[in-house]
Amino acid sequence: MLRQNRNILIIALIAIVNALGYGIIIPVLYSYSLKYGLSDFQNGLLFSTFSICQFISTPIIGRMSDKYGRRPLLIISILGTSLSFFMMAFAPNALFLFLARALDGITAGNIPVASAVISDTTTQEQRTRGFGIIGASFGFGFIFGPTISALTVSHSASLPFIIAGTISLIAVILTFIFLPETNKYLGEVKHSSLFNFKKLFHAVFDENVGSTLLITLFSAISFSLMIFAYQPFSIKILHLSTNHISLLFTLFGIVGLTAQLFLVHRFVAILGLKKLFSSALFGLSLMFLAFFFTRSLSTFIIASIFLGLSNSSVQTLTPTILSREADAKSQGSIMGLNASYMSIGQILGPIIGGFAATVAIPYPFLAASVFSLICFFLSFHVLKQGVKKESAF
């Protein structure tokens, strides 16, 4: 498939860049920001700045890609990511850290636009594997991103950000040179505002895509709850060191990479798209519940492996299902809306987790299990049979 469709190679590179940047930043951003005198509360604001700006910008970028093309929007969004990393590396004060995270969020539409490129250039039968390649590229980035941080941060606190910015800049150049325009319906979008809160709200009631968008929202909440609780739980309950936690995240990345490259499309062939999607969501709920009850490292590791398998399936199949539920002219808009709901979940998850953790550290895992169980029941309503109407987006 990669040999037949060069565009997917470029999209895979974009996904790797995103994941590398995220993987590089997560281990060092907290300690890096302390050098600028930020309190823990201000650090929380710094982390949420990206998601808030991403929530606002992604539908705009997705819709603009429908109107003006995928290629120019991808170039702009990756360039914004690159500039944000360099701003953080050379920030003279804390204000520039916030400006950098805001810039990265505002231009963070490259993944929904990249997903639209997959939809543009593949058949329905190929899309599961195409989106799986994107997911696998994320897995690759999440494996090597923290490694880059670990190897470079001791030389200079700003060096990981410089490396992330350079990688992103290379992706800009390669996209400019090698990626052709894939949108065959340039300009064929309904005349309406680029961002519409009312439309964002009503999208979840759309008979074609509403249930899938809700699944994206609740899945993002549950996964953000897990990310929020994973490190304090590992340290305070399981008494693991930072190195052990890094190894667990690396294991999670390896499982995700393997699943999305070799397993998900085979499971789809065996179980069918909808049945695998439901099974993966139920598996997520069970694994979060296992995290809540376990006090054993071995059980925690086994649950992490199965969590990685289930999450890989959900992350691959969600855009696949959305691409089938939406009409060809609205792929960018739908992927943008999907990314906005993901951003809302990433904003709400840590807030809910903070309240849950005041009861007990494992309680965010219980909340994550509940949200995933809701997604499981919602999955029965995706890919409804019948004639698909033209999307209103």
Last residue of a domain, one of 154, 181, 208: 181
Query: Can you say how many angstroms the Cα of residue 135 is from the centroid of all Cα atoms in its chain?
Result: 9
Which range marks the domain in which residue 94 is found? 1-181
The count of structural domains within the chain is 2
| Tokens linked to 135 | 């997911």
Read off the pTM. 0.71
Q: Which residues of the chain fall below pLDDT 70? A: 1-5, 27, 30, 40-41, 44, 109, 125, 128, 135, 187-196, 242-243, 246, 385-393
Exposure on the CB side of residue 322, measured as CA atoms within 13 A: 32
- Do residues 211 and 307 share a domain? yes
**Residue 187 covered by a domain:** no
- Do residues 158 and 244 share a domain? no
The pLDDT, as a whole number, for residue 54 is 80
How many CB atoms lie under 10 A from the CB of residue 289?
Answer: 18
- Do residues 92 and 224 share a domain? no
The pLDDT, as a whole number, for residue 192 is 59
**Residue 173 covered by a domain:** yes
- Do residues 127 and 252 share a domain? no
194-222: string of b/e by CB count within 10 Å (b at 16+)?
A: eebeebbeebbebebbbbbbbbbbbbbbb
- Do residues 253 and 219 share a domain? yes
- Do residues 132 and 48 share a domain? yes
Which CATH number characterizes residue 214's domain?
1.20.1250.20
- Do residues 52 and 84 share a domain? yes
- Do residues 209 and 170 share a domain? no
- Do residues 251 and 207 share a domain? yes
The pLDDT, as a whole number, for residue 372 is 96
The pLDDT, as a whole number, for residue 387 is 43
- Do residues 216 and 246 share a domain? yes
